Amino acid sequence: MIEVSGLSKHYGDYIAVHSASFSAAKGEIVGFLGPNGAGKTTTMRMLSTYLPPSAGSARIAGFDVVTQSDQVRRNIGYLPENPPLYGEMRVDEYLYFVGRIKGLPESQLASRVAEVIERCFLADARKKLCQHLSRGYRQRVGLAQAIIHNPAVIILDEPTSGLDPRQIIDIRKLIGSLAQEHTVLLSTHILPEVQTICSKVVIINRGRTVLESSLADLIQNRSLEQAFLECVSSDEAVTASF
């Protein structure tokens, strides 16, 4: 579903992502880990077609992000780090709008909006203005917006950051429930989160992918924390060993 090979993004001399490669199969939830500034957001932006890569290629559901970006955009749901909400719109108005620009036919619009409202626990907020929502609700509306057109691949940039423990649990449940029909790539730096919901882990450090492994293999004889620290503290050595 997601195939990334040699993906790079350079801003002049600054290298944000250098030759990142990994893949994700249908139905997998992939945890995308790395310290702050490692290049997680840039990579996700390239996968979502927001940023054009400087080199390398990425395919989403079989379509190339540069040459077939229109098909890619039909097949992804993307939640950026800050949910892209219009403060002056009500939650249901907003979801109708997103459904339309994502290409949902008018006949399915009402039922899809109702479905994501139920799925993301937004029933009591559907008539509220987005600017009056709490952080937790904003995040849930962001998630609803990402899944409304039932995309094959869902890309979530730190979906649980800034939420209280209760909300984190709800969101995790929700993401877990997406796994059957969708492939999910989610970035985070909360390790226990990966342990509870992900089936696969990709670690990126200073713009390079330093590890790609199934969660079970990774934590066979060490904790996830140990594995993560090994990767980010001596990524050169680790890269060599892979």
Q: How far is the CB of 172 from another protein (least distance, A)?
A: 23
Q: Is 88 in the site for another protein (CB under 8 A)?
A: yes
Nearer to another protein, 35 or 80 (CB): 80
Nearer to another protein, 32 or 78 (CB): 78
Of 55-63, 101-109, 173-181, 213-221, which segment contacts another protein by CB under 8 A?
Answer: 101-109
Of 82-90, 160-168, 174-182, 193-201, which segment contacts another protein by CB under 8 A?
Answer: 82-90
Question: Taking CB under 8 A as the rule, which mask of x and - marks residues 33-52 in contact with another protein?
Answer: ------------x--xxxxx
Per-residue HEC secondary structure of the chain comes to: CEEEEEEEEEECCEEEEEEEEEEECCCCEEEEECCCCCCHHHHHHHHCCCCCCCEEEEEECCEECCCCHHHHHHHEEEECCCCCCCCCCEHHHHHHHHHHHCCCCHHHHHHHHHHHHHHCCCHHHCCCEHHHCCHHHHHHHHHHHHHCCCCCEEEEECCCCCCCHHHHHHHHHHHHHHCCCCEEEEEECCHHHHHHHCCEEEEEECCEEEEEEEHHHHCCCCCHHHHHHHHHHCHHHHHHHC
Which one among 26, 37, 86, 124 touches another protein, defined by CB under 8 A? 86
Which one among 9, 18, 40, 73 touches another protein, defined by CB under 8 A? 73
Question: Taking CB under 8 A as the rule, which mask of x and - marks residues 156-185 in contact with another protein?
Answer: ------------------------------
Of 69-77, 164-172, 189-197, 199-207, which segment contacts another protein by CB under 8 A?
Answer: 69-77
Task: Give backbone dihedrals phi and psi of 196, rounded to 5 degrees, phi first.
Answer: -80, -35
Q: Which residues bind another protein (CB under 8 A)?
A: 45, 48-52, 70, 73-74, 76, 78, 80, 82-89, 93, 97-98, 100-103, 145
